[in-house]
């Protein structure tokens, strides 16, 4: 509880922005000290309640640490030292939290700027009009928005000025792009007469602060052929036996190979390439499983660029929670992870590109908010499986 509480508090304060190797060491030290602390608690009801957690921590430490070091840690002579380090770590985290709460005050935030180039917000939605309405009005408040396009895959007439005037009362041009089917592949169909090359692909339940949005856009402008976004994932394993891994693996290893298009910048040319050049067998597989269109897009971009995508610092709010477009089923753990892993194997097999995903280990950070720790872009990431 203390460990997750510290993570949540520091994430809220923006405190954990960091080199991954130090993050991994901090995780190990924190778990070691917490384990020793729990070992000192008397055999009360409280300890019985935490026994299952302690067993899991012990198993994890046995896998992570050399045998000699683990045996030394569990001996009583190490308990006092670990307890001291644990308490000290808590004090350091509290100090960081307080200092960064002051540092993130509104008066310290850089002013919004207007670029000579603008981007199009492409919102993916399906039967959530209240979320769509909120998303439209949120992104209308940001700078550098050329227009907002809504991917309308529902097999009903889209809203119009007469039926839903609340969708059209903002300062930014807004248009519904009606699709011929409800396939999730349609989110990447080319837009008719786009007014910008830059596209922000985003789900209707994901909202990025305008400042972080501008920062990622500026990063994309220097990496125009790449996927640029906030949500990294990584593939591990070997040909035919790939495993899809979430935030914790990215955080602990410092490596990533996928940027999720739930919120990411990309060039509009990839919409046409996805529709015309991604093998039909992959499109059919995605339709059958209603998943993995974002992985297919990353396969396509990586096959073109032969380099890793770009992970940028930033935080977003996901109001969909456990039932949104982006998160539904993900937090259930094993089932989602297995399906995504199968997608990696199938796309490698069905495409003519082999395994095009390239692992990167860099992260573009805003110097205004730099600190020596790394946090997830959304609190839901902490509950994802390893």
> Residues with catalytic annotation?
294
Q: 302 CB contacts (<8 Å, ≥6 apart)?
A: 257, 308, 309, 356, 357, 358
What is the C-alpha separation between 138 and 318, in angstroms, rounded? 13
Largest distance between two CA atoms of the chain: 75
- From start to end of 190-323, where are the E strands? 198-203, 206-208, 228-229, 232-238, 241-245, 258-259, 263-267, 310-312, 316-318
> Per-residue b/e over 337-352, b at no fewer than 16 CB within 10 Å?
beebbbbbbbbbebbe
Helix axis angle, 293-305 relative to 334-350, nearest 10°? 40
Q: What are the DSSP calls for 258-279, one per residue?
A: EE-TTEEEEETHHHHHHHHHS-
> Per-residue b/e over 255-286, b at no fewer than 16 CB within 10 Å?
bbbbbbbbbbbbbbebbebbeeebeeebbebb
């Amino acid at each position: 509880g203390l460990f997750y509480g510290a993570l949540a508090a520091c994430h809220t304060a923006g405190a954990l922005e960091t080199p991954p190797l130090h993050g991994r060491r901090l995780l190990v030290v924190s778990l070691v000290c917490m384990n020793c602390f729990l070992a000192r608690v008397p055999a009360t009801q409280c300890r019985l309640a935490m026994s299952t957690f302690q067993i899991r921590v012990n198993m994890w430490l046995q896998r992570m640490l050399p045998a000699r070091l683990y045996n030394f840690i569990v001996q009583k002579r190490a308990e006092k030292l670990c307890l001291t380090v644990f308490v000290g770590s808590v004090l350091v985290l509290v100090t960081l939290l307080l200092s960064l709460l002051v540092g993130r005050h509104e008066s310290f935030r850089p002013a919004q700027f207007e670029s000579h180039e603008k981007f199009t917000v492409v919102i993916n939605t399906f039967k959530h009009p209240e979320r769509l309405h909120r998303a439209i009005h949120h992104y209308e408040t940001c700078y550098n928005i050329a227009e907002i396009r809504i991917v309308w895959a529902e097999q009903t007439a889209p809203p119009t000025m007469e039926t839903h005037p609340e969708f059209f009362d903002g300062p930014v041009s807004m248009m519904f792009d009606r699709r011929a089917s409800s396939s999730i592949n349609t989110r990447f169909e080319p837009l008719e007469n786009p007014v910008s090359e830059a596209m922000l692909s985003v789900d209707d339940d994901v909202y990025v602060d305008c400042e972080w949005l501008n920062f990622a856009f500026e990063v994309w402008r220097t990496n125009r052929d790449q996927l640029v976004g906030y949500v990294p994932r990584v593939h591990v394993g070997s040909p035919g036996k790939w495993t899809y891994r979430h935030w914790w693996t990215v955080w602990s290893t410092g490596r990533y190979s996928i940027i999720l298009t739930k919120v990411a910048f990309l060039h509009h040319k990839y919409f046409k390439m996805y529709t015309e050049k991604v093998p039909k067998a992959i499109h059919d597989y995605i339709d059958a499983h209603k998943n993995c269109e974002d992985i297919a897009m990353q396969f396509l971009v990586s096959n073109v660029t032969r380099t890793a995508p770009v992970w940028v610092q930033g935080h977003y709010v996901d109001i969909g929670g456990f039932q949104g477009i982006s998160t539904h089923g993900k937090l259930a753990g094993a089932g989602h992870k297995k399906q995504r892993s199968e997608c990696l194997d199938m796309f490698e097999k069905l495409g003519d590109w082999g395994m095009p995903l390239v692992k990167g280990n860099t992260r573009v950070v805003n110097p205004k908010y730099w600190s020596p720790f790394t946090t997830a872009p959304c609190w839901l990431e902490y509950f994802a499986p390893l």
